[in-house]
Structure 1
Amino acid sequence: HHQPRHTREKRFTDVIHSTISQGGRVLIPAFALGRAQELLLILDEYWANHPELQNIPIYYASPLAKKCLTVYETYTLSMNDRIQNAKSNPFSFKHVSALSSIEVFKDVGPSVVMASPGGLQSGLSRQLFDMWCSDKKNACVLPGYVVEGTLAKTIINEPKEMGRLKQKLMTQFADRNTKILTPKNCQSVEMYFNSQKMAKTIGKLAEKTPEVGETVSGLLVKKGFTYQIMAPEDLHVFSQLTTTNVTQRITIPYSGAFNVISHRLKQIYESVEQSVDEESGVPTLQIHECVTVKHESEKHISLHWTSDPISDMVSDSIVALILNISRDIPKVMADSDAIKIEEENEKKAEKVMHALLVSLFGDVKVGENGKLIINIDGNIAELNKESGEVESENEGLKERVRTAFRRIQSSVKPIPLSAP
């Protein structure tokens, strides 16, 4: 069932007019004989009735169509009354020009080109299609029948196939909140995704429900588009992965006293435990329960640790410390000397803390009971240096002194392995 002729002509000219108005180009693939001359006649009349379009060129690019046009111009008496009664020969086009080849075509703006073949399988129509199809402002108007297996047939069938695919997907995912899009070629599509990733805890980590705000630590495993958090010992149960520990050992030349290393490590790290190795009976130091230092012999020190980022960092600092001791200080130090130096360091730390408190609060004195008395504009605060407790009637001053003392203390004391 065909639409009325004037309706089809209006659709044809409307598409071309809107494309030209947007700055686009129109390609009309058509066969050389028959419909091509009829369409050129429609376009020439439309251009004549629309002066605003008369600066837009119309070309027909087909040598055969040019020859056929001569026949049409000659045998107008064999055509309908409208053609016969025209004042001039309608096929002597005023707004349509012949185009011999693409080499002489100046593609510098909007234009209308009718080119053969109509199936877009080769020739000038295919060349122009390849040049223009990537710009969504351009249009390709297929005016008639197209042969199966040609590019023109593919262009016509594609929307139908996409429609059937869309309907199939909508039926298949009807129970989900799914949106199916069928964009045109070169049409931009914006898709929004939730940037937050959700992970499920499984295995031992899932035995207890964490409180709100509680941190859950484990291994994050990605399976497809899902994420799971599990304990390292559950990795081989819930995935095909396994874990292993890398134990590292390093031996360092050292001929000094072992207690010197112990003394220096206690100045740096908060947790340094002395013990004896059960197998060899040599003295050892355990730093934060992650790195073990052994006095292997009179000339060597060995470090042992299970590799992880924190333990590797601690072991590197211990190696640097031992090498520095070997170079800079005497080889032997008596225990009494070490204790004396440690007491002197504690006195220095107290002096530094007192000086920093004076710089912050001004009037800081030592009371009879050993507490520090801080006086600011008549507001008194008493600070216990041992426990860090502060007594004051002014809550604001009390909190300020407590916070300042805690920060000063953390800066002069040995480093803990992790933040409190």
Structure 2
Amino acid sequence: MADAMENEMQIMPIGAGNEVGRSCCILKFMGKTIMFDCGVHPAYSGISSLPFFDYIEAQEIDLVLITHYHLDHAAGLPFLMERTNLNPEARVFMTQPTRAIYKALLSDFVRVSRNAPGEESLYTEDDVNRTMSRIEVADYHAEVNVKGIKFRPFYAAHVLGGAMFMVEIAGVRVLYTGDYSREEDRHLKAAEIPPFRPDVLIVESTYGIQEHEPRGIREKRFTDRVARVVRGGGRVLLPVFALGRAQELLLILDEFWEAHPDLHHVPIYYASAIAQRCMPVYQTYVNMMNDNVRRRFEISNPFHFKHVKNIKGMNQFADDGPCVFMASPGMLQNGLSRELFERWCTNKQNGLVLSGYSVEGTLAKKVLTEPETITKLDGRQARLNCSVDYITFAAHADFKETRMFVEELKPDHCVLVHGEKNNMARLKGALDTIHNKTEGGRKLDLHSPLNCGVVKLKFKNEKMAKAIDVLPLAAEEKPKPGTKVSGLLIQQEFSYTLVKPQDLPQYTSLKLSQIDQRQVLPLKKSLVTLATQLNTIFRGVRFDEEGKVISMAKGSVLIVQKDEHSVQMAWASGYASDILTEAIAAITISDSPHAGEPGVSETLKLGRKLLAARFGKTHSIKGFPHKVRMVVDLTKVTVNMLTGEVDCADETVRNRVLLAYRRIQAAMFPIPEYYCDCCQPTTHVQ
């Protein structure tokens, strides 16, 4: 069976809408609410850095999916879970490597925020710790069902444990990529193409229509620039995220240093206690990396670098000659990378190499415009004399990768997020030209919403029910339109199954039961009088004089005389039958004339007179005042005035008398008859 109806899907970014940072996207469909990512904006601090939570009802969220551990995708999660009215039954998922690194990274974020001048902490380390018990792990490709929301994580590259999520609700699929890369690097495989075509694709647009240089060229530019600075006696600063691209750059530098003995005396420093704490995670999940790393792991740990010195802070750094220093954060907002940059930026011998994407509003983005001076954290100005190079190793898809990704997936709708306004607009225009303005292109519905802007999409989905052994057909026959079926319809979230009542325990945890009710009632009248009263109101009243039993609703309600002053009423409990028996009980215990007294006698006399007027003289039967005997067309006829039963050998005469009797009853007792479902034995589900 199928029932087509139109449903509206709403997609609203409350972060990363025409911006990069505080990624957070809300999806609402079929009464379900999903949050993808929950990050902070690196250019802001405190409450201003959070997604726009005021635009949502946190208690409505059913599911939170975090794509990876970077702060702009995950650092808002403790605030959401501990400082808002998030639905206590909402479930939160991320991959195992993401969960393992998340705690260390966010604990460090709390420490840095607490120590940074002028910044307010969004939450405490205890808040971070409390979130851990609610965060669940999702494995790549494994389907998880949360109250009818089905989702699968797929490999997204970008960082270890990075995932894109394919979500399915009522047969409609949505793919949220988060940050992804279709390029294999030194340690990560390229993002995979999910095997299921999504109806909606929510995709990052970080690089717009830019295309990356071939990787070999970028690596050569990077190593040449670093080598030129240190060979000239300068210092090279590499601002990086503590985890992710840092490991990629260290692999490149360690290999280059090993191949150039003249550089062995130049130290490479990596200041990250977090990276050291999280290195066991890299070793544990080496199976999630590419063949290059897995082969090297068979011999030795490729992340134990020969030419790299790990230090905890500036107290372990002499700063007495050329060096390469890798420090976080990657956008020079604060911390060690900012401290070193302010110290070194005035010297022409030194160099700054930015290897990741820089967000608007950060110092890293500002220095790319080549200003003459920069503002230090203490408010003073410093001249920018050092060289500044931008050689991207950010694991984000460029235009070529995005275009091919969209072409392979063939979605009907595409929503762009995680991109600066101009980059996103250019990407939208390019995709529109390819798909909607080029002859033969696949039509693509494109959207690039601002923060808190809602994209509304209509979907006509059929409600399909799987009928199991209920069709009145042979196994090889196909049902025709209009074929009637009956059974119990089981709804489990967005799937429907039609089964026989007796098969219910086989397909669900429900069981069939029937409650048989019995009630003893006082009787202040004769059973004949009670039967007469019931017959004037209800249809299908049967009276067994010998057994002293009144039967109603095709035998589902029985009234049996126990003694002279009481009766027992028995029935199968149900909504309709319970209402019926309440009315019967009221009639039974009410004061009314006994049989033979004026009320009942006058009723019977009037009925006999009306029959006599239609068919001729009638005779009462001794001992049975409610029965009438007469002759119609030379045929003997007996009429039970209580039940309406007509006994006659001639079927034609019987039908004539029966019709007349019903008209007499309608005239005498103008209360409409009604049909109730208590005529059938009632089955209940518990």
Q: Please say whether Structure 1 and Structure 2 have the same fold, judged by a TM-score greater than 0.5.
A: no
- Which structure's CA Rg is the greater one? 1
Q: Which has the higher contact order (CA 8 A, sep 6+)?
A: 2
Q: TM-score, normalization: structure 2?
A: 0.27
Q: TM-score, normalization: structure 1?
A: 0.42
Higher helix share: 1
